[in-house]
Structure 1
Amino acid sequence: MTAPGTTRYVALLRGINVGGITVTMAALADTVSALGHSAVKTVLASGNVVFESDDPEVSAVKAGLERALSERFGYQAWVVLMTRDQLAEAVAGYPFEDRDGWHSYVLFGSEPALLDELLAAAATLDPADERVQPGAGLLYWQVRRAVGIKSPFSSLSAKARYKSTTTNRNLRTLHKILALP
């Protein structure tokens, strides 16, 4: 349970533990704690952090995280930050049924115009391989496992243009984050 006067946040980092940027989850948790945040927990090794903060200003918390991560780990940190309640709403809104042989993702974004671009491009996708639908500040995406990261939408969303404002997570990972006490 979150202490009165604090906000429970979920930070989703993009681009760590790939491409030569190695960040251990212990070092990540230490960095977040050093900023004065509490109840810090990481999930998996892909840059998922849950923590509590006395600061209710999402933009200030996000900026502080990005600055601290960039300084400590020597890379340009990009963080999508939301409250735990916002994440729960996003997961509850997932529009696609669970399908055998498919992967389910949520692509989070902090720049609405870029999410709109991605959504517009999704209109040309083959629905036999992948589907995309909009949500509030995010896109829901489901792709056939056999297509996976070679899919047109995966290739598009991985472009540098979207790197600093988006990150995606598998729905299973999001459920693990939400299951934390």
Structure 2
Amino acid sequence: MAGSSVIVMGVCACGKSTIGELLAQKLGRKFIDGDDLHPRANIQKMSSGQPLNDEDRKPWLERIRDASYSLESKNEHGIIVCSALKKKYRDQIREGNNNVTFLFLNGDKALIMERMRMRKGHFMKEQMVESQFAALERPDDEDGTVVVSIDATIEQVVEEAANKIIAKQEAVL
């Protein structure tokens, strides 16, 4: 099988980084936190409480797409964290990549707000939850997408995600 990537996506505070890292460990894959790929200007903007716009996201999404391409071209497998809230963002990441699966961590606004209040030291602010839900274009019916509810323990979410990803990738073979 050629290299592949799983893009762990969803709104802020849905557990992308935590689930992504544990999923990478469970499946024996590389882990790349997309937050680390944001250009400086994006981090500064988000730190000041301003949501990013589509223009801000373009260079970031190019970096995510390139990371996915690198994994594929080196016949490696990885888990990349990226909110990928809109279909056009996901399409940009898919561009030129053949083995990308999106894992949508699905949670309602009340659950996300509860988790946001528990977070410390992260650059996302509570008021940006609204903008994240406003921007979200759910990927439920998109090819190459797996949906997992986050209304469970971390271990249960990781287990369900791993099982669905393995099943989806085996179906492609």
TM over 0.5: no
Structure with greater contact order relative to length (CA < 8 Å, sep ≥ 6): 2
Structure with the larger helix share: 2
Structure possessing the higher radius of gyration over alpha carbons = 1
